[in-house]
Amino acid sequence: MELFTDVVFLSRLQFALCVAFHFLFVPMSIGLGLILAVSETRYYKTRDPKDAAAAHFWTKIFTVTFAVGVATGITMEFSFGTNWANYSRFVGDIFGAPLAAEALLAFFLESCFLGVLLFGRKKVSKKFYLVSAWLVWIGSCLSALWILIANSWMQTPAGYEIAADGSKAIITNFWEAAFNPSTAARYFHTVDSLLIFGAFVAMAIGAYHLLKKRNAEFGRKTLHIGAVVAVITLILMIPAAHQQAVVVAENQPTKFASMEGQWESGPAPLSLFGWVDEETKTTTSIELPLAGATSWLASGSFDTVYPGLNDFEKDMLPPINITFQAYHIMVALFGCMVLWVIFAWISLRKNKEPKKGLLRLLCFGPLLPLIAIQSGWIVTEVGRQPWIVWGELLTEDGISLAVSSTDLLLTIAVFILFYLFILIAYLRITLRFVKAGPEEEKFEEEARLAKAEEE
């Protein structure tokens, strides 16, 4: 019951709930933004009304996702000034630029050209309309870049100095702060994971329509696009994950040791699964027989020595077992996704009409990358503790002093109820679009009218 009076814990819980909910929609917008752009490109080449209907179908789903994503993102920014005022004062000079750039450049680009997609099909040239689709996706990726620049600075701060009174960080070099040691690796890793999610959603929707034997051509094309994107992005995840491991090993040794539950210094092992007992300082796990496998992944050598958890003060360690479990869930799900796509690809190649069992399986595919993404963020944020800005500001020192546990419990309850309402509404609208499929008749009629006008 002490946790319900712990302001630090409740503040972190509230923010975690907001971020986790918001990040249900970020993968959908960035991941499906690519599927949307690819679909518009197909229509631009074929001028087939069925491809136009498919592209419009993705535009509707993207628009709903974009709207909810923006609304849930605003809540997080408000909480910086309410629950995390001390943190905001400390990082304000650093965070002002990337957050302003995200709003003025990325969000402006994305929203403006989304307006073109929604209202400009008959008002702009075909080429401009196609470019608009790609700019919407690029805008969403730029938005992720600026947000990850801010978050990466918290992980590996650079290009700053601390004010003489120690009250805040002052930016001294914008480019060093923006492209700090973890920005590039974390951006590549994060965006690729979002594209994997989008690919699995496309495969699921295609499988659904094949299973229901409605819009069969749309289902086959969508399933094929999703499978191709999934193969490419899963392959790209291997170097992305490797580089991310290198950055963590070099800059956040306590997080790196917690990911494998390594207590003593030495070459880092690679566990398949296990359990960390923080009281007895022991890790029970099934490891790969190759000693130092994680050292090899991070450095290219099985003999590279990394510090163990016993080398650090207890107060400077994160929640170790949570970090360990989240990391291994993420890795295990990546392996499942690879096997999933291989099995699906082989089955699709062998059978002109995929079996119902496979199609039902593919319908649940998006759960794999979604859980993996959330697990990855748990590793990132929980593994950074007790620091909110690595090496500079403790999480407990970033809390607003005026916030009470009663305030936090009340707002957590309100957020849960309100977000549940939003989620139900979003699912009802989106699933209705998915069940209906593309409006092929509408675009076939438009094509006939356009052809008649030309004649």
Residue 352 is predicted with a pLDDT of: 65
φ, ψ of residue 248 in degrees (nearest 5):
-65, -45
Question: With 60 as the cut, is the pLDDT of residue 436 above it?
Answer: yes
Tokens, residue 167: 């009250």
User: What mean pLDDT, rounded, does the chain reach?
Assistant: 84
d(CA 383, CA 259): 8
Q: CB–CB of 262/317 below 8 Å? A: no
DSSP result, 155-200 = HS--SEEE-TTSS-EEES-HHHHHT-TTHHHHHHHHHHHHHHHHHH
d(CA 357, CA 410): 45
Residue 351 is predicted with a pLDDT of: 60
Which residues share a beta bridge with 306? 266
Give the global pTM. Answer: 0.90
pLDDT in tens, 27-45: 888 899 999 999 889 888 8
pLDDT in tens, 44-100: 888 888 888 888 889 999 888 888 888 887 787 777 777 888 888 888 888 877 777
- Residue pointed to by tokens 């109820």: 417
Q: CB–CB of 235/211 below 8 Å? A: no
Q: Considering only CA atoms, which of 78, 75, 56 is closest in space to residue 122? A: 56
DSSP result, 353-372 = S--HHHHHHHHTTTHHHHHH
- Residue pointed to by tokens 């990855």: 376
CA angle 435, 440, 444 (to 5 degrees): 170
Q: What's the one-letter identity of residue 110?
A: E
Question: Beta strand pairing status for 282-287 and 169-171?
Answer: unpaired
Q: CB–CB of 43/55 below 8 Å? A: yes
HSE (side-chain half, CA atoms, 13 Å) at 296 = 8
pLDDT in tens, 298-340: 777 777 888 888 888 888 888 989 998 999 999 899 989 998 8
